[in-house]
Structure 1
Amino acid sequence: MAAKLPHVYQPVAEISPQIQSKKQRKMSTVSAMPEAFEKYTDYLNQLNEKRERVVKASRDVTMNSKKVIFQVHRISKHNKDEVLEKAAKDLEAVTDEYMLRLVRELHGSDFWKLRRAYSPAVQEYVEAATLCEFCKTGNLLKLAEINRSLLRLSDPSLEPLQINILDYLLGVGDLTGELMRLAIGRISDGELAYAERICTFVRDIYRKLTLVAPLMDDNSEMKKKMETMLQSVMKIENACFSVHVRGSEFIPILGSSDPNFSFLGVSDMDL
């Protein structure tokens, strides 16, 4: 009677079905890797293309928001209503045309992955919108109000683009710099009361943000904004203080058309 072969020499047909299924699963996994890698490559390519489109849309938002800000800086006590009306129309155009394009590009995607591409544009838009609101009402435009205005641009079936709290605060930080320039301009135009109101408003914003900034220690952008904001507050305060202390030497408009106006106390005939 022939001796039984050792177990290691048993035919393939006698191998356990469980071992065969494990081998099959291993082989199918290896064959699926190129397909998964190809899908991931396509995803990255689509994300890069979307990023390029978002950058272009953000550039348009930034540029046209700056135009709104420049329009507001044309304000004076003689043309306030006209300038603010024009600025409001320009801001509405930015929202309906350029912000709409940005919102559409970010529809249906994890837009937080592209935040660095569109965040500067959103901050500039917040700056323009809050500046217009302050000049019209003297109040700060809230984040909920801005996001409410963007809802109409979104497709209801998709997740809407909403400005986050960080971009809003960074935009408000930039607002204080524009208000500082506006205050200096109003002082030179003789509107000291308006400049003092701006000073109080900017000081209140800075005071409230000092309560929030410590919670964002890891954000370098916010630290820089806070430093710049403090400088803006000090510049407005110093300008208003100088006018009060040296009021007799204050010249509202250099080269006034008033016939009784004299430069540094010297009549025009003596110059």
Structure 2
Amino acid sequence: MLSSSLSRLSLLMAPKPHRLRPLAETALQSSAKKPRTMTTTETYMTKGFEKYADYFNNLNDKRERVVKASRDITINSKKVIFQVHRMSKYNKEEVLGKAEKDLSAVTDQFVSRLVKELQGSDFWKLRRAYSPGVQEYVEAATLCEFCKSGGLLTLNEINATLLPLSDTGLEAFQINLSDYLLGLADLTGELMRLAIGRISDGEVDFAKIICKFVRDIYRELTLFPNIDDGSDMKTKMDTMLQSLIKIENACFSIHVRGSEYIPLLGSSDPSYTLFGVPDIDL
């Protein structure tokens, strides 16, 4: 009885042989790699990624060209500024005439190239790439205008000169307020150098005009709302104040010392005197 019961129990516990093959086949089929087909959603995402990558590649290429154009504007605008610093009361018209021609060449050759590069693109994304060149251009243009008329070239006036550079039917490139103010802040540094040079040449009255002009610019910018929010503008405002102080100190020294100042040593001007004593013929 016991042996027969054990034998029946062993038969019940033993795995059935006819079930091993289906289980093995199922395991093999699940482990085997099935060919995977791309769904419509995945295809759409792949195409979208490729389009996105092409956009950024084109944008980076454009950024490189814009940086090159901005660098050329900076270099040639500095040449205009150096030309203005050669000005004196004897060659003012000649020097300013050449400076204006050089500035027109910068506009026609280099600024126009920048405008063409920015056409049809999100140019606001590339502002950091072209902003230095635009600031230098504003500095050169406003310096020429001040030396010519004694006034300030406004943002609307400088943007009006850029309208012909844009193609018909496309959005015109316009200098924004931030770049204009940053260029205007740099202008005060060049005016400080110009004032010191004019004082050394005896043109004290012109230096006083420069001093008043720079003082007015600084006062107006300090009244401008949120002018110190940007780090670039805050730094340039501090530099502007230093330039203004240098001009005021130079003009004040000439005003106080008065007769001790010698405009041109050995001048043949009959009204020129040295410490209040007329020239003596030897």
How many angstroms does 1:248 deviate by?
2.1
Amino acid at match of 2:259: S
CA contact (8 A) 2:186 2:236 kept: yes
Alignment RMSD (CA, Å): 1.9
- 1:16 corresponds in structure 2 to none
Deviations 1:90-121 (A, max 9, x none): 00000011101010011110101010110000
Q: Map residues 72-221 of structure 1 onto 2, 5 A cutoff.
A: 72-212=84-224, 214-221=225-232
How many angstroms apart in 2 are the aligned matches of 1:264 and 1:139?
Answer: 36
Letter in 2 for 1:204: D
3-state DSSP of counterpart to 1:152: helix
Aligned partners of 2:204 and 2:251 also within 8 Å: yes
Amino acid at match of 2:113: R
* Counterpart residue type for residue 237 of structure 1: E
Aligned residues: 238
In the TM superposition, residue 257 of structure 1 has moved relative to its aligned partner by 5.5
Q: Distance in 2 between matches of 1:83 and 1:199?
A: 22
Percent identity over the alignment? 70
Q: Which residue of 2 aligns with 1:39?
A: 51
The amino acid across from 2:204 in the alignment is L
Following TM superposition, by how much is the alpha carbon of 1:29 offset from its aligned partner in structure 2, in angstroms?
A: 1.6
Alignment partner, residue 248 of structure 2: 237
Give CA deviations for 1:10-69 in whole Å, capped at 9, x if unaligned: xxxxxxxxxxxxxxxx94222211111111110011001001100111111000000000
- For 1:158 and 1:234, the matched residues in 2 are separated by 45
Deviation at 1:259, TM superposition (A): 9.9
Pair 1:72–1:33, CA change in 2 (3 A)? same
Provide structure 2 residue ranges, at least 5 long, that are not aligned to the other structure: 1-37, 277-282
Distance 2:172 2:266 in 1: 53
Residue type of the alignment partner of 1:251: I
Quick one: distance in 2 between partners of 1:263 and 1:200? Answer: 29
Question: What do residues 214-261 of structure 1 show as CA deviations (whole Å, max 9, x unaligned)?
Answer: 5144310000111011111111100000001112221223x5454999
Partner Cα distance (1:30, 1:245) in 2: 81
In 1, the alpha carbon distance for the partners of 2:202 and 2:227 equals 40
The residue type equivalent to 1:202 in the other structure is V
Q: TM-score, normalised by structure 2?
A: 0.80
One-letter code aligned to 1:31: T
Distance in structure 2 (CA, Å) of the matches to 1:218 and 1:241: 33
- Shift of the 256–36 alpha-carbon distance from structure 1 to 2, 3 Å rule, reads farther
**What are the ranges of 5 or more consecutive residues in structure 1 without an aligned counterpart?**
1-25, 266-271
Structure label with greater radius of gyration: 2
Indicate the residue corresponding to 1:67 in structure 2.
Answer: 79
The residue number in structure 1 matching 2:21 is none
Cα separation, 2, equivalents of 1:183 and 1:46: 46
Structure 1 segments of 4 or more deviating over 6 A?
A: 259-265
**2:221–2:227: 8 Å Cα contact kept in structure 1?**
no
